[in-house]
Amino acid sequence: MKMNKAILAVASLSFYALTATAQKSASVQTVVKAEEDFVKQTSRKGIKEAFLAVADAEGIVFKPEPIKITDFYGRIDKQPGTLTWQPKFARISANGDLAFTAGPYVYQNGKTDDDKVYGDYVSLWRLDAATNSLKLLMNMGIQHPPSTRTQLTDIKDPNSTTLVAASKDPFNPKKIIMDNDRQFNQGLKISTLGAYKEFFTPEGHLYFPGFEPMSGIDQSLKFVANQAITISGETINAGRATSNDLAYSQGRARIRKGNIVSNYNYLRVWEMDGQHRWNIILEIYSAIENE
């Protein structure tokens, strides 16, 4: 598995070395501000209108199956209740065309604390060339009991100050990420814990329904080991920043714990490390149903 991963890294590195040019990197505060403005719009306009205002043309939400944001919110009169959230974890690609934030949310459809629903969200943003602004490409969330700990803030600018020119990639950027995602899914079949050890970054965050977020490789590995789960994943889609430092993959998973098999959608965010290998910095599972 490590040998195949190295081959994929070489393909990415070759293109990276040929096209990199020294330019100023984007600021992660761009996506933080986009998320905070989204929160403000929700307060002013309501949930439906806020989602429609920030949606990418291809943006999707999971209800629980993936559906275009414009289709889902365009067909409902109004979504009741109030929704607030706060970005605590964020990254942006060096050229600013792909970014994400994640953090806690509270949804309330009533007047008492008993009416509150707690959880965490992940928002994936993509640059819209027509407006030169970030638009919401994917939004996925999990529910869990009220948090018992304060989430640490992990918001960082890109590590590299080099950009990759937006030109044709002979190695097909989407294919590279889909191949990495498939390789991770294949590794999960062999050893769930082993796959996470190889592909997760030290700062990797794992979001799983019913649990508070696992922050860092140690918490994530402990969760996977304690839950004694096996995962079978299917890659559906992927994309990559033209600066070749941030990417995402989306798919479906079947997770077995004992005799219970549950179906999930997943979203993974990938970043390139110092050795030009793709690793997972964020993974979130959204439940569909049990069998």
Instruction: Give 167 or 179, the one with higher predicted confidence.
Output: 179
Question: What pLDDT does 168 receive?
Answer: 57
Architecture of domain 29-155: Roll (3.10)
Residue 154 reports pLDDT greater than 60:
yes
Q: How do residues 98-137 score in pLDDT, each as one tens digit?
A: 999 999 999 998 777 778 999 999 999 999 999 999 999 9
Question: What pLDDT does 230 receive?
Answer: 96
* Distance, first Cα to last Cα, the chain: 31
Nearest residue to 103 via CA among 92, 89, 84? 89
From 7-21, 26-40, 99-113, 226-240, the region with the lowest mean pLDDT: 7-21
Question: What pLDDT does 131 receive?
Answer: 95
Residue 162 reports pLDDT greater than 50:
no
Average pLDDT, the chain: 90
Q: CB burial class (10 A; 0-12, 13-18, 19+) of residue 257?
A: exposed
Q: How do residues 217-273 score in pLDDT, each as one tens digit?
A: 999 999 999 999 999 999 999 999 999 999 999 999 999 999 999 999 999 999 998
Question: What pLDDT does 5 receive?
Answer: 60
Task: State the pLDDT confidence band at 17, using cuts at 50, 70 and 90.
Answer: very low
Helix axis angle, 217-227 to 192-199, nearest 10°: 170
- Any residues with CB less than 8 A from the CB of 240 and at least 6 apart, and which? 98, 173, 174, 176, 177, 246, 247, 248
Whether CATH 3.30.1370.60 fits 2-21+160-290: no
Task: State the pLDDT confidence band at 3, using cuts at 50, 70 and 90.
Answer: very low
Residue 282 reports pLDDT greater than 50:
yes
Question: What pLDDT does 26 receive?
Answer: 95
Average pLDDT estimate for 191-213: 97
Neighbours of 56 (CB within 10 A): 19
| Amino acid present at 185 | N
- Alpha-carbon gap, residue 156 to 28, rounded angstroms: 6
- Any residues with CB less than 8 A from the CB of 7 and at least 6 apart, and which? none
Residue 171 reports pLDDT greater than 70:
no
Is residue 62 within 8 Å of 40, Cβ to Cβ? Answer: no
Is residue 71 within 8 Å of 59, Cβ to Cβ? Answer: no
* Residue ranges covered by each domain of the chain: 2-21+160-290, 29-155
